[in-house]
Amino acid sequence: MNSIIHYLLIQNQYFLQIISYLCKFICKYIPLKQWIFDDSHSPKYQKFKVDEPPVIIQREVWYYKDFIKYIKWRYNYDIKPVKRRSVCDIPDDAMCPYCHAPKDYLYKNNGSHKQLMCKVCGRTSQSDAHSFSNRIVLRCPHCSHALAHKKDRKHFIIHKCVNPKCPYYLHNLKKVDKEHLSEPYGKNRYKLHYIYREFTVDFFKMDISSLPKNASSLRFSKHSAYIMSLCLTMHVNLGLSLRKTAQALKDLYNVNISHQQVANYAKTAALVIKPFVDNYDYEPSATMTADETYIKVRGVKGYVWFIMDAVKRTILGYQVSDNRGVGPCILAMRMAFRNFKEKLPQGFKFIADGYSAYPLASQQFFIKYGEKFKFDITQVIGLTNDDEVSEEFRPYKQIVERLNRTFKASYRVKCGYDNFEGANYSLALWVAYYNFLRPHSIKNYGVLNKVDILDTADTMPDKWLLLIYLGQKTILNLQNFKAEG
């Protein structure tokens, strides 16, 4: 009996050793399905990757007069201004970025190559204006090499690590196809170096509730408020164009009204209703999904950004922009995060596509607010489920794609917008209709957000009048709060 048990133990150890060898073989030679989508097997997508923030080092600033006094006390040596032997072309407003020494203590260190030496602190700097205003040093988080100022864009500055021995660069270089390395400028097809974008515009101080200020008054001289609510019902709920709305009022109610007056009513209603829609307490869940879609403004491509609650299906953030940069993305996120006053909820998820603006916006939130608003973007790449992330989170992405199709159905009859102000107020009215008035199958054909006062109205025009009343009440509360603060 003991011999059988001893034999079985030996066999189990042998099988465990075989399993260990097989696991090592699989891990080394057979790539498993990726759980988190990365570009380890596709360096062509490296250009869409957002690198982590750099190491920021604050330069130690000395005041040159104190430094001169210290050298005099410590070494009994007087630091005197530079004696010029030729005409000096150093700018009069130039100063040392380290000790604020003026032009009198600066001299050229390498001739015509714009490098200056400070006689007080002994440090070198460049004579261009950017270097004198820069008080911090950005360093690569992989090799600690100082980042080079490469390009100036509209809203940001591109800094790049140019160290040829940077481990991040060498790791990416190994993934480049050998045939491209032999071609002239073949490496330019890939993003190999560490890159950081320093934004020059503070998108966290921009107004996210702006609407046209030239809206007409709510004092009705020719038509009543009910005619205005009829215009909103036909234009927003039924998706009729401005001219078809005016024609429908003429055919159904014998009301003579121009399409321009319909537009003025819509603009005024959007100005009043938008504060209520944006400041309503939606009590959002911990899962959001985002996407952007295209519109036409005078034949030129524009963009609409949507961020919605993936559980309650409510639109929390929206923005109209003339570009697809990270700025409008940050503004839409700020609108969506309004109900999170202190920090993001535990287990927060943000699902978007593979566009790099979303990780960049997430990075800026972390830089601005720290750990309280630190979140990762779950990116659903492509149209097919090629990885585990896309397979799991594809339904969330399809929710916002369905929202885009619903919006496009109402937008298509307008054949584009005349200007971005018109697109802005039209989107604000549509979001108010979608969140508070439109029936949804997920709610058994009820509204997404139930407001008690709206249930007292029997018809849709009356509900629009009550929405205008709620908007006026919200504006009054905001004005009183601002006056008290």
Q: Write out the DSSP string of 390-442.
A: HHHHHHHHHHHHHHHHHHHHHHGGGTSBSSHHHHHHHHHHHHHHHHHTS-BGG
| 300-309 and 315-321 strand pairing | antiparallel
Could you list the residue range(s) of the whole structural domain that residue 164 is in? Answer: 43-57+136-199
Instruction: State the pLDDT at residue 42.
Output: 55
Is-contact 131 116, C-beta < 8 A?
no
Q: Which amino acid is at 382?
A: G
Say whether both 456 and 357 belong to one domain: yes
- Quote the number of domains for the chain: 3
**pLDDT at residue 6, rounded to an integer:** 73
| Cβ pair 342, 451 in contact under 8 A | no
Q: Which residues are CB-neighbours of 144 under 8 A, at least 6 positions away?
A: 55
Widest CA span in the chain: 107
pLDDT < 50 stretches in the chain = 32-41, 129-133, 212
- Look at residue 48 in the predicted model and tell me its pLDDT: 65
One domain, residues 115 and 178: no
154 and 124 share one domain = no
3 state DSSP class of 162: coil
Q: Give 145's DSSP letter.
A: P
Token pair 């790791």 is at which residue? Answer: 171
Residues 181 and 82 both lie in one domain: no
pLDDT given for residue 304 in this prediction: 93
Last residue of a domain, one of 133, 152, 171: 133
Nearest in space to 332 (alpha carbons), one of 228, 427, 220? 427
| Residues ≥6 apart with Cβ < 8 Å to 324 | 292, 303, 355, 357
| 425 shares its domain with 468 | yes
- 108: burial class by Cβ within 10 Å (0-12, 13-18, 19+)? middle
Exposed, middle or buried by CB within 10 Å (0-12, 13-18, 19+), for 176?
middle
Are both 161 and 179 inside the same structural domain?
yes
DSSP structural state of residue 280? S
Helix (H, G, I), strand (E, B) or coil at 290: strand
Q: What is the share, in percent, of the chain residues with pLDDT greater than 90?
A: 27
Residue 25 lies in a domain: no
Which pLDDT score is estimated for 111? 67
Do 305 and 391 fall into the same domain?
yes
At 25, which amino acid appears? Answer: F
328 with 399, same domain?
A: yes
For 348, the 3-state DSSP assignment is coil
3-class DSSP state of 288: strand
pTM, two decimal places: 0.74
- Please, are residues 132 and 94 in contact by the beta-carbon 8 Å criterion? yes
